[in-house]
């Protein structure tokens, strides 16, 4: 992406009102238009962080991010502009008129689409409405950098993060709370655990070791690893799962195949995060059932780094 590109982020902020999904649309007095909350990234800010901040500044609501809904491209002031939109569940807050937005309306999606001024916002709402709002989010993390294997004299399972890896781990610690995680899992290698230990510490929980999601535990029986991952997905709350580069591409590809989702190549840089969104499993589901009742992957969004992008 060109260094001349303006990066921005926003969200479809939603709530459940007695079984009806409503989304927030704001009126911006500066432009006299109705819009989804969005805005430009601040210096040193990631795209997800900007989405959460802009939602709060324009609506007054704290929110938990979910799936990536769409990316919009257009020209602004003669420069290319890219806006990433996430689904965002309203947690708490209240709207107070301000200089950026002087009115907020909670509306069902069709009414919100009729109200927004820009056709691009209607396209985003259309993409949001393609799948249920209340999906299960899973944050699949590849462990951060741990130096070269040939330079570590001990047991490879004990190879720790490098100084660059610790910087990545701190970035993961800052990024993942934007999605409101509640559980933390890791392949039982030191570098996998260290990558998400800060997230677990902030949640005041422990990192649960998952042998099936390590390379040596996954490949003897990939189907068992897939089943274990789906069991983690089906439990309550948003899980964080830290695994390895020899597992993640195959796992995401298998999940996409089951869900009928096209993902193509599955990149997996160290310190990267896959934001996976699944339909909620059928009540009382079990992995012994037909795959029809399993959580089904409907969105897979790749964040190549938890670190903010360098500014031009």
Residue 46 neighbours by CB distance under 10 Å = 21
Residue with the bigger pLDDT between 249 and 155: it is 249
pLDDT at 157 (0 to 100): 82
Same domain? For 292 and 224 the reply is yes
Length, in residues, of the chain: 312
User: Is the residue at 170 inside a domain?
Assistant: yes
Same domain? For 101 and 244 the reply is no
Same domain? For 278 and 225 the reply is yes
Please answer whether residues 246 and 220 qualify as being in contact, where contact means their C-beta atoms are separated by less than 8 angstroms.
Answer: no
pLDDT at 2 over 70: no
User: Is the residue at 295 inside a domain?
Assistant: yes
pLDDT at 3 over 80: no
pLDDT in tens, 183-210: 999 999 999 999 999 999 999 999 999 9
pLDDT at 154 (0 to 100): 78
Same domain? For 160 and 270 the reply is yes
Number of domains in the chain: 2
Same domain? For 170 and 190 the reply is yes
3-state secondary structure of 49: helix
Work out the burial of residue 75: count CB atoms within 10 Å of its CB; fewer than 13 is exposed, 13-18 middle, 19 or more buried: exposed
| R_g of the chain, CA atoms, integer Å | 20
pLDDT at 305 (0 to 100): 93
Residue with the bigger pLDDT between 157 and 220: it is 220
pLDDT at 112 over 60: yes
pLDDT at 36 (0 to 100): 98
CA angle 12, 278, 169 (to 5 degrees): 80
pLDDT at 311 over 70: no
- CATH number of residue 158's parent domain: 3.40.50.1240
Residue with the bigger pLDDT between 265 and 155: it is 265
pLDDT in tens, 61-89: 999 999 999 999 999 888 999 999 999 99
Same domain? For 214 and 264 the reply is yes
User: Is the residue at 39 inside a domain?
Assistant: yes
Q: Please compute the mean of the pLDDT values over residues 131-139 and round it to a whole number.
A: 96
Same domain? For 45 and 184 the reply is no
Same domain? For 82 and 115 the reply is yes
pLDDT at 245 over 60: yes
User: Is the residue at 309 inside a domain?
Assistant: no
For all residues of the chain together, what is the average pLDDT?
Answer: 94
pLDDT at 231 over 70: yes
Same domain? For 144 and 62 the reply is no
pLDDT at 93 (0 to 100): 97
The percent helix, strand, coil of the chain (3-state, each to 5) is 35, 30, 35
Q: Please compute the mean of the pLDDT values over residues 113-134 and round it to a whole number.
A: 97
CA 306 to chain centre: 11
Same domain? For 102 and 140 the reply is no
- CATH number of residue 52's parent domain: 3.90.79.10
**Domain end among 128, 158, 186:** 128
Q: Please compute the mean of the pLDDT values over residues 12-29 and round it to a whole number.
A: 96
Q: Please compute the mean of the pLDDT values over residues 128-137 and round it to a whole number.
A: 96
User: Is the residue at 311 inside a domain?
Assistant: no
Same domain? For 43 and 140 the reply is no
Q: Which one-letter DSSP state was computed for residue 99?
A: S
pTM: 0.94
pLDDT at 312 over 90: no
**Domain end among 72, 103, 128:** 128
The percentage of residues in the chain with a pLDDT greater than 70, rounded to a whole number, is: 97
Domain of 30? 6-128
Same domain? For 176 and 124 the reply is no
User: Is the residue at 60 inside a domain?
Assistant: yes
Q: Tell me how far apart the alpha carbons of residues 11 and 63 are, in angstroms, rounded to a whole number.
A: 10
Name the E strands within the chain: 6-17, 20-28, 33-35, 38-40, 61-76, 79-93, 103-108, 136-142, 181-186, 208-209, 238-243, 273-278, 297-303
Q: Please compute the mean of the pLDDT values over residues 163-177 and round it to a whole number.
A: 97
pLDDT at 150 (0 to 100): 78
pLDDT at 308 (0 to 100): 87
pLDDT at 290 (0 to 100): 66
pLDDT in tens, 258-282: 999 999 899 999 999 999 999 987 7
User: Is the residue at 310 inside a domain?
Assistant: no
User: Is the residue at 117 inside a domain?
Assistant: yes
Q: Please compute the mean of the pLDDT values over residues 169-188 and round it to a whole number.
A: 98
Q: How confident is the model at residue 92 (pLDDT cuts 50, 70, 90)?
A: very high
> Distances from the Cα of 252 to the Cαs of 15, 221, 243, in angstroms?
29, 16, 12
pLDDT at 156 over 90: no
pLDDT at 121 (0 to 100): 97
**Domain end among 128, 148, 164:** 128
CA 90 to chain centre: 15
């Amino acid at each position: 992406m060109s260094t001349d590109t303006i990066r921005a982020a926003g969200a479809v902020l939603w709530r459940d009102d007695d079984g009806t999904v409503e989304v927030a649309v704001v009126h911006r007095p500066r432009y006299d238009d109705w819009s989804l909350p969005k805005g430009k990234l601040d210096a040193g800010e990631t795209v997800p962080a900007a989405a959460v901040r802009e939602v709060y500044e324009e609506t007054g609501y704290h929110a938990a991010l979910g799936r990536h809904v769409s990316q919009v491209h257009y020209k602004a002031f003669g420069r290319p502009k890219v806006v990433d939109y996430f689904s965002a569940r309203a947690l708490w807050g209240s709207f107070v008129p301000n200089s950026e937005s002087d009115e907020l309306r909670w509306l069902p999606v069709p009414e919100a689409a009729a109200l927004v001024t820009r056709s691009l916002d209607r396209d985003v709402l259309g993409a949001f409405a393609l799948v249920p709002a209340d999906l299960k989010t899973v944050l699949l993390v590849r462990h951060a950098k741990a130096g070269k294997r040939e330079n570590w004299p001990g047991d490879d399972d004990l190879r720790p993060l490098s100084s660059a890896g610790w910087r990545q781990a701190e970035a993961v610690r800052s990024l993942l709370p934007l999605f409101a995680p509640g559980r933390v899992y890791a392949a039982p290698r030191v570098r996998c655990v260290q990558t998400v230990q800060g997230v677990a510490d902030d949640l005041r929980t422990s990192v649960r070791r998952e042998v099936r999601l390590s390379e040596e535990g996954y490949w003897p029986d990939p189907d068992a690893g897939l089943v274990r991952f789906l069991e983690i997905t089906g439990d309550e709350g948003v899980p964080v799962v830290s695994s390895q580069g020899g597992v993640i591409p195959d796992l995401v590809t298998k999940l996409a195949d089951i869900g009928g989702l096209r993902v193509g190549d599955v990149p997996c840089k160290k310190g990267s995060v896959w934001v996976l969104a699944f339909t909620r499993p059928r009540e009382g589901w079990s992995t012994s059932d037909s795959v029809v009742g399993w959580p089904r992957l409907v969105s897979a969004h790749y964040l190549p780094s938890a670190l903010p992008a360098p500014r031009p």
